[in-house]
Structure 1
Amino acid sequence: LKKRSAEETKSILAIYDEEVSAASAVPSTSGHFPLFKRMKSTMYSHRSKRYLKLPEHRRDQQIPDAFRTTMAGEDFLLWQSASRHILVLATGSNIRLMATRRTWALDGTFKIVPQWYQQLFTIHAFLAGKLVLAVYCLCTDKDIPTYGFILSKSGITGNPQPQS
């Protein structure tokens, strides 16, 4: 469990469930598997060793080169604004995709962000009947001027057709 938690990207619960299923197939181990609530903190601890720790202050944040590009080598860190506390992640191809789409979806998520930010603001485009996530934005403000600033500074242009 520890090894898989550290090496795989599947959810911790999915890894646990797979291991429980495998263990229950063997009669000698079926009743001896630890409960999830006893194992999850250990599993999360081993997973966290793969990732960098956040510095104490946002001003000390440095994004390593490995996190600035995609696995295909395309730039992923689009830009960041220290004064407005905004970090925008997207590829050039995703920005170009946004320009070709008429329908966009914008969403804000608040519970999963690092401690210095207020929300993960995401921009999606409809492509072939599916919603495609194109831009990730970590920001401290949750207002229309911030969203407008993100769109204009990112070079996202087009003629979206608002639905609501």
Structure 2
Amino acid sequence: MEISIREELSNTNSGPDFVLFESGENDPDRLIILPTDENLSFLYLSKLWCIDGTFEISPSLFRQLFTINVLVNGRNLPVLNAFLADKTEKIYTRLFEFIKYRVNNEPGNLFCDFEKGILNSIEKSYKRTNISVCWFHLVSNLYKHV
């Protein structure tokens, strides 16, 4: 089964584009990036990005749903969602480079899970960003391998 995004579904109810990038059904490293232009402006203005990938709720054609959240008026706001075909450094780098190109700014701080592919990709794409990792995920990952 393939997912094909019809044009009328690529906009929000209020009109703005919602599908920023869709690499195509035949791409083995398929990537769909879903923010609005307003949400991209929140990324531009935010000094802290919190990112996370989840596997349980992703459609079966994708390996994970990847999210970036920022604080807006003291509230945690999800501003970018992306469906990733895999969880490789290559696809994370592709995602971050595309976001960097569109946002044209680096966060001062980024908070993420302790996952080597994500960390390497962030370091490649955002050289001036301070990276903090989630202690819980680091310890639980270590515990799994002990």
| TM-score using structure 2 length | 0.66
Confirm or deny: 8 A CA contact 1:100 1:158 kept in the other structure. Answer: no
Compute the displacement of 1:143 (Å).
3.2
Aligned to 1:92: 37
The equivalences for 1:44-123 within 5 A come to: 56=1, 58=2, 61-82=3-24, 83=27, 84-123=29-68
Letter in 2 for 1:76: F
Aligned to 1:126: 71
- Flag structure 1 segments of 5+ consecutive residues without an equivalent: 1-55
Decide which of 90, 95, 98 is 1:153's aligned counterpart. 98
Letter in 2 for 1:160: G
Confirm or deny: 8 A CA contact 1:77 1:89 kept in the other structure. Answer: yes
Which protein is richer in strand relative to its size? 2
- Flag structure 2 segments of 5+ consecutive residues without an equivalent: 110-130, 134-146
Aligned to 1:163: 132
1:46-75 deviation digits (Å, cap 9, x = unpaired): xxxxxxxxxx2x3xx321223200111000
1:12-47 deviation digits (Å, cap 9, x = unpaired): xxxxxxxxxxxxxxxxxxxxxxxxxxxxxxxxxxxx
Compute the displacement of 1:117 (Å).
0.5
Compute the displacement of 1:144 (Å).
3.6
What is the Cα-based RMSD across aligned positions, in Å?
1.6
Structure of greater relative contact order (alpha carbons < 8 Å, 6+ residues apart): 2
Letter in 1 for 2:42: L
Q: Secondary structure at the match of 1:77?
A: coil
> What is the aligned-residue identity percentage?
25
| TM-score using structure 1 length | 0.59
Aligned residues: 106
Confirm or deny: 8 A CA contact 2:49 2:107 kept in the other structure. Answer: no
Letter in 1 for 2:12: T
Rg larger in structure: 1
Confirm or deny: 8 A CA contact 1:86 1:140 kept in the other structure. Answer: yes
